[in-house]
Amino acid sequence: MTAATHTPTATVSDPPALTIIQPGDGDTGWLGTVGVQFKLSGSQTNGAVSVVEHPFPVGALVVPHLHTLEDEYSIVTEGEIGFRSGDREVVLGPGGYITKPRGEMHTMWNAGQVPARMIEIISPSGFESFFRELSAVLAGGPPDPEQLMPLAARYGIQLGQPGWLPDVIARYNLTPLT
């Protein structure tokens, strides 16, 4: 039997510095239907990943979108969160994991009757800056859609209204962003 070898697919010239984020620490913002708490940014990981937490109020639905630059890995920590990616749909409770690959239209929603929360790992990093910018725009009041489209495009995000969305909204009694 031969020993398995691991060949890294990426190299980092300098390892990131030790970073400690205590529970509850990190800047927070509002993304229109869900919150965001910033945990690790690309500047802390040499661009490898960023990590945020998203609290989901009851009825929350994230606008369907597609990433062209990064993949997302989500871990549900509280409540129940529904995920739709392409033609696959699942509801996960605490401890459930899901990957959301770039190039695939997806959305998430609170699938239960209590607030929910998930950790989002984004690879490579950079998309956390979209969350910061969007949160700043929304802090000024309802945005002009003409302001949001260039922001999304700058981060390689394509927004969508897939045919399956009305069914998801009805089944889970969701409140989409208007």
Q: What is the mean pLDDT of each run of 10 residues along the chain (178 residues)?
A: 45 79 95 96 94 98 95 98 95 97 96 98 96 92 82 94 94 86
Q: What pLDDT score does 94 carry?
A: 98
Q: What pLDDT score does 12 carry?
A: 54
CATH of the domain at 161: 2.60.120.10
Is position 54 within any domain? yes
Is position 114 within any domain? yes
Domain limits for position 83: 28-172
Is position 32 within any domain? yes
Number of domains the chain is built from: 1
Q: What pLDDT score does 15 carry?
A: 85
Sign of CA dihedral 6, 11, 14, 18: negative
Is position 39 within any domain? yes
Q: What pLDDT score does 144 carry?
A: 79
Q: What pLDDT score does 146 carry?
A: 80
Percentages (nearest 5) of helix, strand, coil residues in the chain: 20, 35, 45
Is position 1 within any domain? no
Q: What pLDDT score does 178 carry?
A: 64
- pTM of the predicted protein model: 0.89
Q: What pLDDT score does 89 carry?
A: 97
Is position 6 within any domain? no
Q: Which of 107, 56, 58 is nearest to 77 (CA)?
A: 56
Is position 101 within any domain? yes
Is position 5 within any domain? no
Are residues 132 and 126 in contact, defined by beta-carbon separation less than 8 angstroms? no
Between the two ends of the chain, the Cα-to-Cα distance in Å is: 60
Task: Return the number of other C-beta atoms located less than 10 Å from residue 25's C-beta.
Answer: 10
